[in-house]
Amino acid sequence: MDREERIRNAIRPFVPAGTEVPLAEKIVKSRCHLTITRDRKTKAGDYRHPFGNQGHRISVNGTLNQFAFLITFVHEMAHLTNWERHGRKVNPHGKEWKMAFQEEMLPFLREDVFPDDILKQLRIHMKSPKSATVRDLDLMRLLKSYDDPSHKVLLEDVPENEEFQLGSKRFIKGVKLRKRFRCELVGTGRIYLVSAIAEVEL
């Protein structure tokens, strides 16, 4: 079994059917090392450029649903492409990266890859991609709707003045300020601004 086949087998459970073939080809061609990680609260994926005796490295959270995983991987692959073209000379999420992301995502903007609702919103997103998918609340809501059912809910669905838990901390939900809610940390009175689509527990 060659490296490309091993990679196809490894990523098949995490991505939409059929996309493991072109993804494995990209990984091998770019000599990239892909790590599928446990859940990370602060990021869905990351890219690290070659350093010392290490080549390109991409990591993606293995807890993402297949559509979020694919988008995250392509986002990070665009960083790899951007590095190969420009190195440190450009902004990591500047116009050059946006162009690379659009190029890398284009082959996957198909009905046999994404459901209609995600595909429609993703096409809008790709006109001017944001530095992180979580900054596009409409797209994130759709992606989260395809997650496995859990006991968690989105903060925007929690009634105002209701108590909720985020990580190990308990808050009381306050008023909405643009894309975040003003929330009070129970017992301290400290105020935090929490994303409307943060997953919380009642």
Going residue by residue through the chain (202 aa), what tens digit of pLDDT does each one get? 688 999 999 999 999 999 999 999 999 999 999 999 987 777 889 999 998 888 999 999 998 999 999 999 999 999 999 999 998 898 889 999 999 999 999 999 999 999 999 999 999 999 999 888 878 889 998 998 898 877 678 898 899 999 998 888 999 999 999 889 999 999 998 999 999 888 888 8
Check whether residue 128 and residue 174 sit in a common domain: no
- Look up residue 56 and give its two tokens: 């390109």
CA distance 95 to 29: 24
Provide the residue range defining the domain that includes 97: 3-144
Check whether residue 173 and residue 128 sit in a common domain: no
Q: Indicate the pTM of the whole model.
A: 0.80
Check whether residue 107 and residue 174 sit in a common domain: no
Check whether residue 15 and residue 46 sit in a common domain: yes
Tell me the one-letter amino acid at 47: Y
Check whether residue 137 and residue 53 sit in a common domain: yes
Check whether residue 30 and residue 118 sit in a common domain: yes
Check whether residue 33 and residue 119 sit in a common domain: yes
- Of 51, 50, 52, nearest to 79 by C-alpha is 50
Number of domains in the chain: 2
Q: Are 90 and 96 contacting, i.e. CB atoms less than 8 angstroms apart? A: yes
Total residues found in the chain within this entry: 202
Check whether residue 75 and residue 111 sit in a common domain: yes
Check whether residue 140 and residue 189 sit in a common domain: no
Check whether residue 159 and residue 133 sit in a common domain: no
